[in-house]
Structure formats: structure tokens, C-alpha cells
Structure 1
Amino acid sequence: MRTVFALAAAALVLAACAHPWNTVDVAPGTPRDEVIARAGQPVRVVPMPEGGQRLQYTMQPWGRYAFMVDLDASGRVVRSRQVLTAQEFARIEEGKWTGADVLREFGPPAQVDGVASWNGPIMMYRWKELGGSPMLYYVYLDPQGTVGRAHQAMELVNAPNERK
């Protein structure tokens, strides 16, 4: 029994060591293997248009953070950042960005859905505003896969039940 407990405790400690939060302060020049040792395997690895690749660490669908670690062609960190922020979402250009651009810049969304009033998929990301408010960010893609509109909304968490 002690052996099982010891193995479980060791596995828990090791799992706690490799976590996406460990990408926040990765110094430029850090090798790819060191990033993966610190943060674990990324959710996705995406080739970058200018060369190199992006390691995507996301806590979607329920988490509110996504970390992107950009590597140069030699596999060394160029920059690392948390991208689910108002400043990052403001970079999305309606009519110019595609769904592939959104996935490259923000990782997989928390949810993809649709509504009768829009002819195309709607990608939804969960994030937190600077003050800590839970937020949603919606990206509407047209049938050709181009961003037609994008906007933020408040996520009502633990709202009282209105039914009586």
C-alpha cells in the first residue's frame, strides 16, 4: 500500500511540475525541449508564416488562459505570452483574418456553435478581463472561413436562477 501511495504522490508532483503556466516567463533563446520539459506537451504545434513554429498551450474549454510560445527555425524561443486578452483580441481584423488565423493566434476555442441569424460557425473563447471578470469572445466566420465580425461579452457565472 505504501508503494502505491508513494508512486501516486510522485506522479502528482511530476504532473504539477509540467504545466502551461510554466511558459509565462520562458526567456528568449530557451530551447524547445526545455519548454516542453517545463510545460509539458503543447495542445497544438503550428507552423508560423515567417518560419519556425508556435507551441500552443490552452486551458480551453473551461480555463481562461492560452499561452503561445513562438520558436524560431532553430527551435529556440522568440517570445512567450498569454493571448486571451482584450489587447490580443483587438488584433483580429474583420474581413481580413480567416478561421485559420484565429486558430493560429489563439489556439482551439472553448466552443464552436452557430445561430440562425448567422450563416457560418461562431468560435467562442473564455477569458478574464483585467479586473477578473469572466468574459467570452466570439468570432463569427462567414461560409468562406473569413472573420465577419468579432466581439466580447460578459459571461454570467453563478447567476441566480430566474425561474420560480
Structure 2
Amino acid sequence: ERFGEPDRVWPEEGGARTLEYNRQPAGRRNYMITIGTDGRMSALVQVLAPHHFAKVVPGMHEDQVRRLLGRPAKRTTYELKQQTEWDWYWSDGPGREMIFTVVFDAAGQVLRSGSSERLHEGP
């Protein structure tokens, strides 16, 4: 109840479900909360972190990436390249704003991914 309505509900084996709570683009966290068949929380995971990013590998489908990290903050399509980039904003400690980017081909498969420091524009 504290988190409000989930952005998406993912079914799990055995009847459990995982609730996706997206805090993008303003926030720097996305949460996955697993609720067992008894209605009790069995896990709460903040997924925008390097150990989760490491699970994104070339060939993975965009549905799998969405399930792992939640809805991205930004999606950009490059028609000529036939590629789409998804960005998630995350924090790597105080004052270190980061972007994790996944590049997909036209079939929705991961080509590459990586993090970089987010540069703020303007005054």
C-alpha cells in the first residue's frame, strides 16, 4: 500500500507475483516486490544497480530486460541505424548521477549495454 499502484504485475511460478514500482525518470530507483500466494511480501529488490545491470547480455530480448530492470526513463529510436536505446537513471553514491543504456537491434535483441556519468546541461 505504501508504494501505491504498481506499474506492472509480473506472474511468478507457483502463483506468486512480482509488482514493479517504477520511479523513473525523476527517481533513481526501480523496485520489484514479490508477493507470495499467501499475500505476504517475500522480497523487495531495488533493481537499478550494477549487479543487476551485469545480467543484461547481448542477445537478450527487450521483454527480458524490462522484466529485470523495469520501465526505462527514456527510449530513443534511431531509424537509420535500426537501433533503439533504453536509458535508466541511477545513482552511484552521493552526487554521482549515472545512466545505464541498453542498445537493441531492430528485432528487439540486446546489442550492447553500459553505464556512463550523466552530464547535466544548462545553468
Scaled by the length of structure 1, what TM-score is found? 0.66
For these two proteins, the number of residue pairs brought into alignment is: 123
> What CA distance in whole angstroms lies between the structure 2 residues aligned with 1:122 and 1:99?
11
Report which stretch shifted further, 37-46 or 101-110.
37-46
Any residues of structure 2 matched to 1:9-158 within 5 Å, and which? 37-48=1-12, 51-95=15-59, 97-115=60-78, 118-157=81-120
> What CA distance in whole angstroms lies between the structure 2 residues aligned with 1:144 and 1:106?
19
> What CA distance in whole angstroms lies between the structure 2 residues aligned with 1:92 and 1:82?
16
Report which stretch shifted further, 73-82 or 107-116.
73-82
Q: Relative to structure 1, is the Cα distance of residues 51 and 92 closer, same or farther in structure 2, using a 3 angstrom cutoff?
A: farther
Q: Which is strand-richer, 1 or 2?
A: 2
Larger Rg: 1
Greater relative contact order structure (CA < 8 Å, 6+ sep): 2
Q: Secondary structure at the match of 1:114?
A: strand
Letter of the structure 1 residue corresponding to residue 88 of structure 2: Y
**Cα deviation 1:80-115 (Å, max 9, x = unaligned):** 1111111211111112x2110111111110010023
> What CA distance in whole angstroms lies between the structure 2 residues aligned with 1:135 and 1:110?
12
Q: Which is helix-richer, 1 or 2?
A: 1
Q: Secondary structure at the match of 1:87?
A: helix
The Cα of 1:78 is off from its aligned counterpart by 2.2
Alignment-derived partner of residue 18 in structure 1? none
**Cα deviation 1:27-54 (Å, max 9, x = unaligned):** xxxxxxxxxx222111211223665221
Percent identity between matched residues is 30
User: What's the C-alpha RMSD, in Å, of the aligned pairs?
Assistant: 2.1
1:134, 1:157 within 8 Å by CA — same for their partners in 2?
A: no
Q: Secondary structure at the match of 2:19?
A: strand
Moved over 6 A (4+): none
